[in-house]
Structure 1
């Protein structure tokens, strides 16, 4: 007799997801292999997700929802599952990002996580830790869903020109990442400005930071260190960083000029996925 791993659905969001997936599959009278054939995944993967040994993705969830007629349950659950896999210190920040009506970010050396491609994110996350890299990358990319919501936040990103020049991953990874930034040109809710090297001294020399603004709650300032995040609602800090951000936007290139610089860097440094000498 086959041993069936019994999950406690209250143990974690991942366990609850696996419990519900198995419950709906069995109610439909399908084996793991049969469901896998319907949704174009292996029966083994179905089993791993049902036993909380593998993270589901949004695409997987949508396919299974359609196949089993769950009413979209798994697609709703997967957001909670993926957020629960974030480092404990970052989970509060992810919730703040999801609730914010406006997000303002300044980054000194790399593209903000909400704008990263999977390959770029994988290279960043794998710099010092290769463990569970596929799952960690999927979790980071899943956070970008907040930019696709019907009521998505307005997102302004000011990035240093250094982030364009610093090769993260392969030249092809950089080419794809810069091309991804250009996809937001026609999106008025996602705006990318580049702070050029030529600006010299600027208001962000003390480091990267984010501002989260809400409909009725105080503004939050978020800074990050090694393995820790520091959100604060201190009104003096929020006032200071808001002023700094105003100056950074004023010093940065316009949206059109920023897109032109991004294209130029793509052509001059990463043409056809190869570094240009």
Structure 2
């Protein structure tokens, strides 16, 4: 995600204030290092504590306009960079499209939209970017019994719009546990269409990579649940785990490295992509025809 994107209103609308704040902090940290200043020295010149500046750079504290202007001067930023970051600062409160659709700020959707590569392990469910409307509706109904019809429809719409990221160039590499493909969510026909849809999207999109972790390998390193590693053009990678609909971001380098190692182990244990495609087509047939190893939901 390059910061010059903020010159395009249509592109800026894809990124939430959470993401913009992270990018601003990262850019300021890069300017500080380019200027040869330690965080202690820069904080002293700004008139704040070192911890305060560190929180700004890591997007844990907001940067007001006066502080931004002061930092740009301290770092001797050129006119082009000044204009770029001032424009970015002006957009910090501009909502992204999904924030008017019941998706809270700081959610997974915030940072997914800004990623260039998403590596995701799907444990019990098909990835949201690959769900059909019928499957998504049933998943939401089952996992959130309190959601009414209007809320379910809205959340399905969000997932369908998120899926457009794949057509816009987002690279998704998903490793799916075989159990997620054989559990009947919504009945046989809904599930068969869902599995066929994954296979069809894989064949149609060069930016989509799909592998299946087969039952035959037994236990594996991520039996406890789904997780992801998200990579960005202008931001350090992030890890993400989810349970009971609640997400947990992994930002420390060691945590992200551990998540990536786990994902790479799963990818290595999974079937090759060509074999995964064959298995998905076979599972779709099994589901539709009532074959073996299909779990009733």
TM-score, normalised by the number of residues in structure 2: 0.61
Asked if the contact 2:107/2:247 (under 8 Å) is kept, the reply is no
Q: CA deviation at 1:175?
A: 1.1
Quote the residue 1:207 is aligned against.
Answer: 225
Q: Does 1:108 align with 2:123?
A: yes
Q: Does 1:159 align with 2:190?
A: no
Q: C-alpha distance in 1, partners of 2:225/2:170? A: 23
Quote the residue 1:54 is aligned against.
Answer: none
- One of 252, 256, 262 as aligned partner of 2:274: 256
Asked if the contact 1:211/1:242 (under 8 Å) is kept, the reply is yes
Quote the residue 2:8 is aligned against.
Answer: none
Quote the residue 1:18 is aligned against.
Answer: none
Asked if the contact 1:185/1:191 (under 8 Å) is kept, the reply is no
Q: CA deviation at 1:92?
A: 3.4
Quote the residue 2:111 is aligned against.
Answer: 96
Q: CA deviation at 1:130?
A: 4.2
Quote the residue 2:186 is aligned against.
Answer: 169
Give CA-to-partner distance per residue, 1:1-48, whole Å, 9 cap, x none.
Answer: xxxxxxxxxxxx9xxxxxxxxxxxxxxxxxxxxxxxxxxxxxxxxxxx
Quote the residue 1:141 is aligned against.
Answer: 160
Q: C-alpha distance in 2, partners of 1:82/1:95? A: 9
TM-score, normalised by the number of residues in structure 1: 0.66
1:10-159 → structure 2 map (5 Å cutoff):
80-88=96-104, 91-127=106-142, 128-131=145-148, 132=150, 133-149=152-168, 152-159=169-176
Asked if the contact 1:220/1:232 (under 8 Å) is kept, the reply is yes
Give CA-to-partner distance per residue, 1:151-176, whole Å, 9 cap, x none.
Answer: x1211000000011111102111111
Asked if the contact 1:83/1:94 (under 8 Å) is kept, the reply is no
Q: Which runs of 4+ in 1 moved over 6 A?
A: none
Q: Does 1:225 align with 2:243?
A: yes
Asked if the contact 2:189/2:288 (under 8 Å) is kept, the reply is yes
Asked if the contact 1:86/1:139 (under 8 Å) is kept, the reply is no
Indicate the structure whose relative CO is greater, using CA pairs within 8 Å and at least 6 residues apart.
Answer: 2
Asked if the contact 1:97/1:103 (under 8 Å) is kept, the reply is yes
Asked if the contact 2:231/2:238 (under 8 Å) is kept, the reply is yes
Give CA-to-partner distance per residue, 1:23-79, whole Å, 9 cap, x none.
Answer: xxxxxxxxxxxxxxxxxxxxxxxxxxxxxxxxxxxxxxxxxxxxxxxxxxxxxxxx9
Q: CA deviation at 1:99?
A: 0.8
Aligned length: 194
Flag the 1:187–1:207 CA change in 2: closer, same or farther, 3 A.
same
Q: CA deviation at 1:94?
A: 1.1
Quote the residue 1:179 is aligned against.
Answer: 196
Asked if the contact 2:121/2:174 (under 8 Å) is kept, the reply is yes
Q: C-alpha distance in 1, partners of 2:286/2:141? A: 27
Quote the residue 2:253 is aligned against.
Answer: 235
Asked if the contact 1:106/1:209 (under 8 Å) is kept, the reply is yes
Q: CA deviation at 1:276?
A: 4.2
Q: C-alpha distance in 1, partners of 2:276/2:146? A: 33
Give the secondary-structure state (helix, strand or coil) at the position aligned to 1:215. coil
- The answer for unaligned runs of 5 or more in structure 1 is 1-12, 14-78
